[in-house]
Each structure stands twice: as structure tokens, then as C-alpha cells.
Amino acid sequence: MLHIVLHEPEMPANTGNIGRTCVACGAVLHLIEPLGFRLNEKMIKRAGLDYWEHLDVRTYLNFEDFLEKNRNPKIYMATTKARHMYSEPAYEKEEDVYVMFGKESAGIPEEILLDYEATCIRIPMLPKIRSLNLSNSVAIVAYEVLRHQGFKEFQTEGQLHKYHW
């Protein structure tokens, strides 16, 4: 099972897009407060389209509450401060994969990252850019985890309706 964890997300449109991605890949979305929006806002629903009702979303008062309710899971921390690329871990060896992303304006606090240095991962990018959009980052890493796990139970082929190969 894939678990996407957002630490203090600020933008409802990003969270809505991430929710839609979670539904598409069967992931649970964990939201750690404070949130920069209310979960019933129109913008979050608009970005998530009609998929939001199918989302398994869980909220937590803070990071400690998240750890307590999830029994201290192994968490990959997505951060521009990491030494390892997101494609390096052997995700297929783990039953539950948790990947945490920080808020749009500041990322994951360094005091949290210090305890997870071995599982910090980054998406490589050119040095002239600070970071990618949060929803894009989640999609990149989520589908890398699923690729490692062989896309079990996923529809992996499509078909043109009007024309046949």
C-alpha cells in the first residue's frame, strides 16, 4: 500500500490534484495540520474533480499524532536537501511505503529531516530551480514506487475505440 503524507500543505489546488493522483494509484492521503485551507473548500474539490469522494484521506493534529496513529512507519522524506535520488530505494521490498512531502513554501522542517536522513530522497533537477510543484513531485515519486512494485492490479494497457491495431 502506498501512503502519501503531506506535512502542513498550504494550497488547496495542489492537495486536490494530489488527492486525484492518490485515487488513481490506490494511495492513502495523510494530511498533517495545520492546513492552509479547509477540506470542504471549493478549490480542493474542483482540483480533485469527482474523484475526491473516492479518496481515503486521514488528518492528524501534528507529526507526532501521525507517528502515533501509524505506529512509527518507515517514511521516505521527499526533500531537496536529500543526498539520494527517489529512484534508489528498493520500494518493492516493503509492504507499506510512506512518502512525506513538506509544505509548498518551506518543505519538511529540518528538525524532522534530521531523524530521517537515511530515508531522505530527492528528485534531481537543474540547479537554477528551487523545487518542483508539490503535486508534480508527488506524482513522480508515487509512480516510481508503483513501478518498483510492478503496477500490481493496475490497468497497464489501453485501446483505441474507433481504430484497432
Sheet holding 28-32, edge to edge: 57-60, 28-32, 2-7, 97-101, 75-78, 120-122, 84-85
Q: Is there a binding annotation on residue 26?
A: no
First-residue to last-residue Cα distance in the chain: 35
Question: Which ranges of the chain would DSSP assign to H, the alpha helix?
Answer: 12-25, 42-48, 63-69, 110-113, 134-148
Distance CA 153, CA 160 (A): 21
Three-state SS at 129: coil
Q: Is there a binding annotation on residue 123?
A: yes
Which sign does the torsion angle of CA 10, 25, 29, 54 carry? positive
Q: Is there a binding annotation on residue 112?
A: no
Three-state SS at 97: strand
Residue positions in the annotated binding site for S-adenosyl-L-methionine?
102, 123, 131
Q: Provide the annotated binding site.
A: 102, 123, 131
